[in-house]
């Protein structure tokens, strides 16, 4: 009986042992799954915390950028605002010890008085004439020069272009004395010629347009030459239309340069018949006592600045597009 009982116990142990071996791995897998779930939860929480921190930092950085931009905008706009409010003030209000940020009484008659006192009609006509003529002549010279340096093959082309680029490093003020001696020798003083001719050639405009021409594939030029197309016809039919944004930019910049010119017109013209806007306003508002009527002068400056402001507002995209298309090829 004892042997039979021992055999039964042994058989029971043999049957239960594999079951225990199967239960233990299942328990380990459950513990591992719980641990993995806890790690995943912690990782998700850490990721969410990082994202929240990044979101907060992005909001703070964006707010700081906008605060800085608003501050810079106020600094830039305030002089124009001061010019406008000063242009409609009375002289007594302008001379107050404590300046007013808004006029107590708006005097639009200052603009009428400024227009008549400074003879702005004649100054506008003179400036427009000089600007239009100099811009057209400068465009012709710039287009032909840029085409020659970009497409024509001649001896010393690169060396000549390098010399022209080197002149861009010389300040323009150094040419004032030699230009003055030249125009005085030619007898051009107090004429429109002296305001137009000395600044017809601009190395910067030639370089800008030449770089734009270099972006046009040379195969088009060779194919046109095979078909018997002349250089001028190819320039007019192909290169100018493809470079039209850059030509618009050059036109705008040249007109703005003629409009803002001050030192040279003031040096070579002493007659009111040939004065431009910039130097024509210099002494137009000096009273008999020697004081300057600032509100009237501000009204004149506002009228003179308005065309340039409108040009920048409506044509700024052409300026940016033309300059960006010039590239760096070549």
Q: How wide is the angle at C-alpha 256 spanned by C-alphas 251 and 258, nearest 5°?
A: 95
- CA gap 25, 9 in Å, rounded: 25
Q: What is the pLDDT along the chain (330 residues), one digit of tens a residue?
A: 445 545 555 554 545 444 444 444 545 666 566 666 666 777 777 777 888 888 889 999 999 999 999 999 999 999 999 999 999 998 888 888 888 888 888 888 889 988 888 888 888 999 999 999 999 999 999 999 999 998 888 888 889 999 988 988 888 778 888 889 999 999 899 899 999 998 888 899 999 899 888 888 888 888 888 888 888 888 888 888 888 888 888 888 888 888 888 888 888 988 888 888 888 887 777 766 667 788 888 898 889 888 888 887 887 777 676 566 555 444
| Residue 257, pLDDT score | 86
Q: End-to-end CA distance of the chain, in Å?
A: 110
Q: Is the distance from CB of 164 to CB of 142 less than 8 angstroms? A: no
Collapsing DSSP to helix, strand or coil, 2 comes out as: helix
Q: Residue 183: which of 195, 173, 174 has the closest Cα?
A: 195
Q: Two tokens at 260?
A: 């803002």
**Contacts of range 146-153, beta carbons closer than 8 Å, 24 or more positions apart:** 146/206, 146/209, 146/210, 146/212, 146/213, 147/213, 147/231, 147/235, 147/239, 149/206, 149/210, 150/210, 150/213, 150/214, 150/330, 151/213, 151/218, 151/221, 151/231, 151/239, 152/231
Other CB atoms within 10 A of residue 304 CB: 21
Q: Is the distance from CB of 258 to CB of 134 less than 8 angstroms? A: yes
- CA gap 239, 328 in Å, rounded: 18
Q: Residue 269: which of 215, 200, 192 has the closest Cα?
A: 192
| Residue 262, pLDDT score | 86
Q: Is the distance from CB of 196 to CB of 137 less than 8 angstroms? A: yes
């Amino acid at each position: 009986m004892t042997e039979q009982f021992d055999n039964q116990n042994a058989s029971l142990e043999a049957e239960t042992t594999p079951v225990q071996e199967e239960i233990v791995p299942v328990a380990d897998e459950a513990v591992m799954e719980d641990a993995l779930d806890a790690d995943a939860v912690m990782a998700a929480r850490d990721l969410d915390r990082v994202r929240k921190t990044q979101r907060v930092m992005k909001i703070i950085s964006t707010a700081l950028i906008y605060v800085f931009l608003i501050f810079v905008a106020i600094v830039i706009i305030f002089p124009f605002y001061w010019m406008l409010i000063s242009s409609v003030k009375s002289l007594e209000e302008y001379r107050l010890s404590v300046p007013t940020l808004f006029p107590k009484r708006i005097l639009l008659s200052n603009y009428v008085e400024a227009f008549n006192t400074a003879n702005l009609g004649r100054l506008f006509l003179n400036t427009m004439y000089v600007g239009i003529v100099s811009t057209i002549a400068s465009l012709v010279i710039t287009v032909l020069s840029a085409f020659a340096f970009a497409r024509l093959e001649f001896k010393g082309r690169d060396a000549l272009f390098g010399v022209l680029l080197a002149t861009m490093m010389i300040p323009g003020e150094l040419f004032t004395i030699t230009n003055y001696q030249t125009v005085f020798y030619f007898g051009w003083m107090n004429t429109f010629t002296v305001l137009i001719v000395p600044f017809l050639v601009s190395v910067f405009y030639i370089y800008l347009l030449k770089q734009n021409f270099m972006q046009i594939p040379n195969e088009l030029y060779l194919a046109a030459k095979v078909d018997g197309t002349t250089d001028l016809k190819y320039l007019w039919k192909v290169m100018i239309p493809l470079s039209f944004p850059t030509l618009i930019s050059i036109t705008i910049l040249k007109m703005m340069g003629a409009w803002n010119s001050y030192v040279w017109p003031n040096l070579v013209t002493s007659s009111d018949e040939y004065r431009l806007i910039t130097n024509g306003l210099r002494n137009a508002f000096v009273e008999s006592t020697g004081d300057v009527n600032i509100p009237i002068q501000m009204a004149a400056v506002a009228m003179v600045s308005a065309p340039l402001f409108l040009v920048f507002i409506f044509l700024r995209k052409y300026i940016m597009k033309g300059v960006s298309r010039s590239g760096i090829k070549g």
